[in-house]
């Protein structure tokens, strides 16, 4: 019987084929039937950016993010432009006030969403974090949030403008900051230095905050969590916590060198400490740091099982939300071995219908629902490996 099944599978493979560029590659027998396009913001100020995403619906069986696989276009290129470049697909840049649409297309299937560019002016910049204190040889991601006001007093828009401002430090020998707001400390300083974000408008608009850089020595590293288990095809975020000579214990996850004892077969780990289980087995995860020639390390084991997803529970369940507010949803997967995992960041999220708001599929914000001015009901779905979990949300 098994031999006949293998022959049948081979014949089907030859008959239907497979392509890594096909958005139906997870299941070639279920075609893409529609595309839903959503933006981070409902409207945007002139000369700012808005990330749009494309969620493909595969005959109602499952959905997933196909932002990087579609072809993006703008109906009116005088109002905005959209990127098809690797790493920034779906990123819309506002060029002039007005209304147009952004379109995502794959073959003869397309989806669209409105692009609303307001004739707004920047009124304030907030830098996050404020008045930080860091050790030498550490990193800090700064964020610039702009408040824009339009023609009407109530017409106010808040947008992330981190990549649109010019970042500077008052002493580049103490700390350096790049165009994305990522700062690296280089030396200690007796006096605080100043971090400045400048909006290149007419006239320029800027905000600043202080930074104190102290000289301490790293003495040990601890990896969190310890000796954990995940299912094949899922991920786990490891953190590295350092202990310094001043007894502080900050997270240094992005400063250590992460390694897996078998990245090609069982489990790999990226520079940010995110490990992926590729095949059943056990690997050793190591975090190391070069402290002026002294290598400080810690290690833990990661076990990858062959368990498969059985069900998904989305929380909060059957909730109510006020208009123009947000709600973070999480997805917990139950697997065939009865284990459970948080799969929020590896699930594809949809809100159907999306008339009352949108839900994010952006890394670090997956499952974040943002309501608009409308009231009504929507179904929040989390999809992973063809299994769907859902809950109901009422916006009022």
| Co-location of 186 and 263 in the same domain | no
Give the pLDDT confidence score for residue 47 in this predicted structure: 87
Write out the two tokens for 258: 């992460």
107 and 195 share one domain: no
Residue 396 half-sphere exposure, CB side, CA atoms within 13 Å? 5
Residue 288, CB-side half-sphere exposure with 13 Å CA sphere:
10
Q: Residue 345: in which H helix or E strand, if any?
A: none
CATH number at residue 282: 2.60.40.10
Instruction: Quote the domain boundaries for residue 237.
Output: 218-305
Based on the fold, state whether residues 205 and 234 are members of the same structural domain.
no
Give the contacts of 220 (CB within 8 A, at least 6 positions apart). Answer: 242, 243, 296, 298
Determine the pLDDT at residue 1.
43
Q: Of 253, 288, 305, which residue constitutes the final position of a domain?
A: 305
Residue 187 and residue 166 share a domain: yes
CA distances for 365 relative to 15, 51, 232, 349, 361, angstroms = 40, 13, 23, 11, 7
C-alpha dihedral sign at 73, 357, 236, 249: positive
Strands 294-305 and 228-231: parallel
180 shares a domain with 168: yes
**Do residues 106 and 10 share a domain?**
yes
Examine the domain organization and report whether 113 and 60 are in the same domain: yes
Instruction: Among 84, 118, 152, give the residue marking a domain's end.
Output: 118
Who's near 310: CB < 8 A, 6+ residues apart? 333, 334, 335, 336, 387
What distance in Å separates the CA atoms of residue 256 and residue 258, rounded to the nearest whole number? 6
Residues 105 and 17 in one domain: yes
**Is the domain of 269 the same as that of 188?**
no
Task: Give Cα separations from 389 to 94, 104, 201, 252 (angstroms).
Answer: 36, 26, 46, 34
Q: How far is CA 219 from CA 248, 297, 308, in A?
A: 11, 10, 41
Q: Among 118, 144, 174, where does a domain finish?
A: 118
Which among 324, 272, 391, 367 is positioned nearest to 154, based on CA atoms? 324
Distances (CA, A) of 269 to 298, 302, 347, 372: 15, 11, 19, 38
Please count the structural domains in the chain: 4
44 and 55 co-located in one domain: yes
Query: Among all chains, which residue has been given the structure tokens 């994010």?
Result: 360
Q: Are residues 199 and 288 in the same domain?
A: no
Q: Within this chain, do residues 297 and 378 fall inside the same structural domain, yes or no?
A: no
389 token code pair: 């979990």
Beta-strand relationship, 274-277 and 267-269: antiparallel
User: Burial of 237 by CB count in 10 Å (0-12 exposed, 13-18 middle, 19+ buried)?
Assistant: middle
Tokens of 277: 């289980």
Token representation of residue 368: 């974040």
Give me the pLDDT at residue 202, please.
62
Is the peptide bond between 369 and the residue preceding it cis, with omega within 30 degrees of 0? no
Instruction: Mark the ranges of the chain whose per-residue pLDDT is less than 70.
Output: 1-29, 151-156, 201-203
235: its two tokens = 């991920």
Asked if 138 and 129 count as a contact pair (C-beta separation under 8 A), the reply is no
Cβ distance 93 to 380 under 8 Å? no
Tokens for 346, please give them. 């590896």
**CATH number of the domain where residue 79 is located:** 2.60.40.1080
């Amino acid at each position: 019987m098994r031999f006949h099944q293998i022959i049948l599978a081979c014949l089907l493979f030859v008959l239907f084929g497979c392509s890594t560029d096909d958005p139906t590659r997870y299941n070639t027998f279920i075609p893409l039937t529609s595309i839903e396009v959503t933006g981070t913001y409902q409207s945007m100020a002139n000369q700012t950016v808005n990330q749009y995403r494309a969620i493909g619906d595969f005959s109602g069986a499952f959905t997933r993010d196909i932002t990087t696989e579609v072809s993006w276009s703008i109906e009116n290129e005088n109002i905005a432009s959209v990127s098809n470049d690797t790493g920034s697909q779906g990123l819309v840049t506002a060029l002039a006030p007005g209304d147009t649409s952004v379109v995502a297309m794959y073959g003869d299937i397309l989806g669209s969403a409105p692009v609303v560019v307001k004739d707004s002016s920047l009124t304030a910049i907030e830098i996050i974090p404020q008045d930080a204190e860091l050790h030498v040889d550490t990193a800090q991601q700064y964020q610039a949030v702009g408040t824009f006001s339009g023609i009407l007093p109530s017409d106010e828009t808040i947008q992330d403008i981190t990549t649109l401002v010019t970042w500077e430090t008052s002493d580049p020998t103490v700390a350096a900051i790049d165009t994305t707001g990522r700062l690296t400390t280089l030396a200690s300083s007796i006096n605080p230095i100043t971090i400045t974000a400048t909006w290149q408008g007419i006239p320029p608009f800027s905000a600043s905050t202080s930074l104190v850089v102290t000289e301490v020595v790293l003495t040990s590293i601890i990896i969190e969590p310890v000796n954990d288990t995940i299912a094949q095809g899922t991920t786990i975020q490891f953190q590295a916590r350092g202990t310094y000579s001043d007894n502080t214990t900050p997270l240094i996850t992005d400063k250590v060198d992460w390694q897996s004892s078998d990245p090609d077969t069982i489990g790999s780990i990226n520079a940010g400490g995110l490990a992926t289980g590729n095949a059943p087995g056990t690997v050793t995860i190591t975090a190391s740091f070069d402290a002026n020639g002294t290598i400080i390390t810690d290690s833990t084991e990661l076990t990858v099982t062959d368990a498969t997803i059985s069900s998904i529970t989305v929380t909060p369940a059957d909730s109510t939300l006020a208009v123009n507010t947000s709600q973070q949803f999480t997805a917990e997967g139950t697997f065939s071995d009865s284990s459970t995992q948080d799969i929020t960041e590896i699930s594809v999220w949809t809100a159907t219908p999306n008339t009352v708001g949108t839900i994010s599929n952006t890394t670090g914000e997956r499952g974040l629902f943002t309501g608009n001015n409308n009231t009504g009901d929507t179904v929040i779905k989390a999809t992973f490996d063809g299994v769907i979990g859902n809950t109901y949300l009422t916006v009022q």
